[in-house]
Amino acid sequence: MPLTPRTLNNCEALDGQDPLAGLRAQFSLPEGVIYLDGNSLGPLPLATPGRIAQTLNEEWGKGLITSWNTAGWLDLPQQVGDKIARLIGAHPGEVVAADSTSINLYKILSAALNIAADDPRRTAIVSERGNFPTDLYIAQSLCRDRGLTLHLVERDELDAALRDDVAVLMLTHVDYRTGTMHDMAALCAQAHEAGMLTVWDLAHSAGAVPVDLHAAGADFAVGCGYKYLNGGPGAPAFLWMNPRHADRIRQPLTGWWGHAAPFAFTTDYIPAAGVNGFQSGTPSILGLAALDCGLDTLLAAEGLGGMVALRRKSLALTSLFMALVQERLQGHGFAIATPADETRRGSQVSLTRAEGAWAIMQALIERGVIGDFRAGDGKHQHDILRFGFAPLYIGHADVWQAVDQLHQVMQSGQWREARFAQRHAVT
């Protein structure tokens, strides 16, 4: 019978049996730190400094401009994109790594609206009221410029919102606050039956949960490279387009890198074929090199079961965390905002509390357990303590010790010390 992971000894035994445990050695993680914030910024892969040094010293330093050809810089957005494709159910040549999530969303959402404009009845974008703010800001901008309506609803109101005036359903697959995950395939089917297109933000999905864009029937997707993909702060983002839309695409940021022949230097713009036409300006080679290393940390799991195995471990870790919170933190005012249903949960667990969430997190970070804080909103009145569980480098014993430290913070009242109430610009 499997061990019940409710004691530290049992958790350590489970880690000893874990075939994925060796993947942790790919990362530079400070001694004594339990890093539960990979859903915000992934840790540094050990391979990245050497790769950056090579790109700087050899490719740029010695190869200079010739490295666009000799070091493969020209094709790096596609090569990195092909690695991402293996994590999100896309085919080779369908994903490109470029720009930021916000810029990519602007391009993709604009292209989707251009297609939908063939039907003049479709004058609205539907999204969740609690969607990640940058997604809503981009949608607000496009709606303002095009005279469209952005219709924001709660999650349980989505079915009723899919009306015949909607052009695009824009959703984030895994909610950044609570870790709640949508049924992508079901929502794509509903949206298509109602005659609209779907745009998905995979920022909290790619590298965290299995994603199969083709099987789900999605139309467009974007995502970032610095969370579960471990690409480093400000890493390039990515975008995907279902090939069935290739002949109908007109994107708004027609920069030279998205031209069919950028070094022909023609006056008129001719888009590159497929997703490559969504490139705009010159790519960040240093950023792409770092992201390439981050992706290799995930692809190293392919021989061990890949995303299926990572998902199995992720669910075990998040289930353990929730069980330990319920056992050890009763009476301390915490509630779990993340679904217990595994089919509706990403790779994070969010706790809510009416008072002191910021200070509690700061006290926990001082003890070496790093999560993060998100303020409440109209739907989530209480503030949120977020904990991400990346199975590449987190084990069962880490989970046990994290909850134990949180228990000590609460039992001792340490979080009430005035120094923990000081706010920082980044939360």
Point out the catalytic residue in the list 15, 37, 201, 292.
201
Point out the catalytic residue in the list 226, 278, 389, 420.
226
**Apex CA 223: angle with CA 122 and CA 37, to 5°?**
130
**Chain mean position to CA 117:** 29
| Amino acid in the structure at residue 376 | G
Cβ atoms 283, 257 nearer than 8 A: yes
Per the DSSP assignment, residues forming a β-bridge with 128 are 153
Q: Let me know if 119 is a catalytic residue.
A: no
**Burial state string for 6-39 with b = 16 or more CB within 10 A and e = fewer than 16:** eeeebbebbbeebebbebbebbebeeeebbbbbb
Question: 252: buried, middle or exposed (CB in 10 Å: 19+, 13-18, 0-12)?
Answer: middle
DSSP-derived secondary structure for 313-327:
HHHHHHHHHHHHHHH
CA–CA distance, 198 with 115 (Å, rounded to integer): 12
Q: Which residues contact 42 (CB under 8 A, 6 or more apart)?
A: 226, 227, 228, 229, 230, 231, 232, 294, 390
Residue among 95, 102, 57 at smallest CA distance from 76:
95
Enter the tokens of residue 124.
């609205």
Q: Let me know if 386 is a catalytic residue.
A: yes
Enter the tokens of residue 274.
């497929």
Point out the catalytic residue in the list 27, 106, 132, 176.
132
What are the Cα distances from residue 225, in Å, to 100, 286, 293, 298, 337? 9, 13, 11, 12, 26
Long-range CB contacts (within 8 A, 24+) of 25-28: 26/297, 26/300, 26/392, 26/393, 27/230, 27/297, 27/392, 27/393
CA–CA distance, 181 with 165 (Å, rounded to integer): 26
Does the CA dihedral 351-357-361-363 come out positive or negative?
negative
CA–CA distance, 124 with 194 (Å, rounded to integer): 13
Q: Let me know if 75 is a catalytic residue.
A: no
CA–CA distance, 129 with 133 (Å, rounded to integer): 9
Q: Let me know if 24 is a catalytic residue.
A: no
Point out the catalytic residue in the list 219, 383, 386, 389.
386
Q: Let me know if 227 is a catalytic residue.
A: yes
Residues annotated as catalytic (active site), given as ranges: 132, 201, 226-227, 386
